[in-house]
Amino acid sequence: MDLLITQLTETVRDKDAVISTMQAEADSLRTSLAQMRAQDALKSPRNRKVVTLSYEVEADGVLSRARVGRHASVATTQVLNAFPVESTDELASKMIEMFRKPLDKIDYLHSARFADDLMQLCARAKPIYEAEPRCLALESPTYVFGDIHGNLEDLNFFADHLWKLGTQLTAGKFLFLGDYVDRGMNGLECVAYLFALKICSPTKLFMLRGNHETRDVNGWEDHYGDRSFLRQCKARFGRDLGEQVWEAVNQVFDRLPLAGVIDNDIFCVHGGLPRPTKGQEVATRVEDLLAVPRVAGISPVYDHESRASQQLASDCIWSDPALADMEQGRELNELGFGESLRGGGAVCFGNRAVDNFLAVNQFSYIVRAHEAHAEGVGLSKGARVFTVFSTSKDHGQGTGAVAGCILVDNDAIRVINRSAKYKNKFVHRRQSATAAGVAPTHVEKAIRLGLVLNTPHEPLDRVVPRMVLQQQQQQQVVTTTTTMTTASSISSISSSGGMVVADATATLAAMALQRERSHSFSSDEGGSGEGEEEDDDDMERDQPKR
């Protein structure tokens, strides 16, 4: 027995020695590999010339720029002159400038010239987005923004604080996670501004696609009413021109990438994780996203989109983290995916899906948008999923709602929120405290631009309990879903040749309604619902139409 123990101990010692040797070898190989990569990085030639410019900062912002070294020696001047000139897009620059004081440009913003200019911007932005991979590779520092939803006020807040001198003079990158239009009143301004920034800073500012960047959603006038992007285009420019602008903007949306990865570690997407499309895989690999066509309608689809690519793209823009009670029940499958409360074939992802996805792709975090949070940024799934929401209005989150963004800066993830107490630059309601003392002509202008709502408060919002209101609204959703599928098929075919309209899924929508009714909405409820600047309107979830 003693001998046996001695032999075994010796064997273990020998094997331990072999293991340590192998570990040391692996460590040394790892170090060499890192060194080789670092050397490669140092040796790889820069493929662009450095543009050297100097800027003058004045009280109203950055007013002029010039090449550096105008008074340099002849030799230096010759070298500088040989550098390529950084092209400036005058139209895009003008658009960015306009955004600083939109109320001064009120006539322009209501003119056919703005429609033409916006369509030109679309034509310039299209090839830029189309050339980008469907999953961007970005590095920190990067600011990440969630839903904007036509909220010029909050977008202006970020512009005033995060890129006060403009995106070009601000270090780092800016990543927007989608949902630029609908729900808010200034979808046109937000889109014009963001496209203009993209044209001027194509390697600094990035925009992903949200579920509202599809024709089925941003053309759903019956559902979103005055807050529908299509309705806003038509109201602003008249029916024909309005539809042209709407289609031009959607052509750009068709080309927006679906996801981005920061520092090879943080996965960013509008909705969330897509379910695996390949049978043998436990999670989608980010490489799979690269196979999605660079021009995709998603909903409705173009002829060239396969069912698999449409599902992958739809999941990216529509999915949500599963609620806590779903994690406990049997509603999630063995891969951690379940049916979304939104219905329409959308999925939700649980802890297991997050585990698998992060492990397979070797990532640490998921940053997504898509769900309103009164606190701007929310955490779920063991603090591995960040939900960022960058508009404080139009989502029934109350006056305490804040707009947030995330700064990923090397080893830190910093949440930056616009406090609910922050003084508005524009005003929201005619009767509000912020509107008092503002010149009537100014208020009139702001009303024309949708920055002040001229509608009185709807007392119904306060009296009817949320749950009842929900059910009424959900009822409406189902009826419009069924009828709108036909209506949208007509408009899609007529306005964009080659589009195939997805099947009507009235049954799915009805099932969704049943689920919505049986489910408590407490987890979604935000602020108090008190106060005069609140838009206490639509609390229902967006629903996919397929």
Q: How many whole angstroms separate alpha carbon 273 and alpha carbon 251?
A: 25
Stretch that binds Mn ion, among 1-9, 207-215, 460-468, 492-500 (CB under 5 A): 207-215
The reply on whether position 211 binds Mn ion by CB under 5 A is yes
CB of 403 to Mn ion, least distance (A): 15
Residues 105-134 that bind Mn ion (CB under 5 A): none
Q: Which residue's structure tokens are 């804040």?
A: 402
DSSP single-letter state for residue 371 = S
The nearest distance, CB 177 to Mn ion, in angstroms, is 9
**Shortest spacing between CB 179 and Mn ion, in angstroms:** 4
| Paired residues of 499 in beta bridges | 302
Residue in the shown chain whose Cβ atom is closest to Mn ion: 370
- Please say which residue, 200 or 252, places its beta carbon nearer to Mn ion: 252
Is the Cβ of residue 142 or residue 211 nearer to Mn ion in the bound state? 211
Q: For Mn ion, give the closer residue by CB, 102 or 219.
A: 219
Sequence-ordered strand ranges (E) for 115-162: 135-138, 142-145
By CB under 5 A, is residue 254 in contact with Mn ion?
Answer: no
Asked if 315 is part of the footprint of Mn ion (rule: CB under 5 A), the reply reads no
Stretch that binds Mn ion, among 43-51, 192-200, 335-343, 362-370 (CB under 5 A): 362-370
From 11-19, 171-179, 443-451, 491-499, give the range in contact with Mn ion by CB under 5 A.
Answer: 171-179
The answer to whether 320 contacts Mn ion (rule: CB under 5 A) is no
Query: Nearest Cα to 336, choosing from 357, 347, 352, 322?
Result: 352
Q: How far is CA 10 from CA 4, 5, 19, 229, 320, in A?
A: 10, 9, 14, 75, 55
CB 512 → Mn ion: shortest distance, Å? Answer: 16
Lookup result for tokens 């229902």: 540
Residue among 243 and 540 whose Cβ is closer to Mn ion: 540
Minimum gap (Å) between residue 409 Cβ and Mn ion:
26
Burial class (CB in 10 A: 0-12, 13-18, 19+), 36: exposed
Could you give the 3-state DSSP secondary structure of residue 56? strand
Rounded alpha-carbon distances, angstroms, from residue 99 to 55, 125, 235: 20, 18, 20
Instruction: Name the minimum Å distance from CB 147 to Mn ion.
Output: 6
Q: How far is the CB of 146 from Mn ion (least distance, A)?
A: 9
Shortest Cβ distance from residue 270 to Mn ion (Å)? 6
Helix (H) or strand (E) holding 175: strand 173-176
- Report the alpha-carbon distance of residue 255 to residue 294 in Å, rounded: 6
Identity of the residue, 102 or 210, whose beta carbon is nearer to Mn ion in the bound complex: 210
Residue among 199, 211, 300, 293 at smallest CA distance from 255:
293
- Which helix (H) or strand (E) element contains residue 58? strand 53-58
The residue from 212, 223, 373, 428 that is catalytic is 212
For Mn ion, which stretch binds (CB under 5 A), given 13-21, 210-218, 324-332, 529-537? 210-218
Cα R_g (the chain), whole angstroms: 26
Structure tokens at 498: 């080659």
The yes or no reply on residue 370 touching Mn ion (CB under 5 A) is: yes
DSSP 218-253: HT-HHHHGGGSHHHHHHHHH-HHHHHHHHHHHHHHH
Catalytic residue check, 149: no
Only segment of 23-31, 116-124, 272-280, 370-378 that touches Mn ion (CB under 5 A) = 370-378
Q: How many residues bind Mn ion, per CB under 5 A? A: 4
User: Please, what's the largest Cα pairwise distance for the chain?
Assistant: 100
Exposed/middle/buried for residue 127 (C-beta within 10 Å: 0-12, 13-18, 19+): exposed
Please identify, among the stretches 367-375, 385-393, 407-415, 510-518, the one whose residues bind Mn ion according to the rule CB under 5 A: 367-375
The CA distance from 18 to 206, in Å, is 50
Give, as ranges, the residues between 176 and 205 that touch Mn ion (CB under 5 A): 179
Smaller CB distance to Mn ion: residue 95 or 268?
268
Residues in the chain: 546
**Chain residues that interact with Mn ion, rule: CB under 5 A:** 179, 210-211, 370
Residues annotated catalytic, as ranges: 212
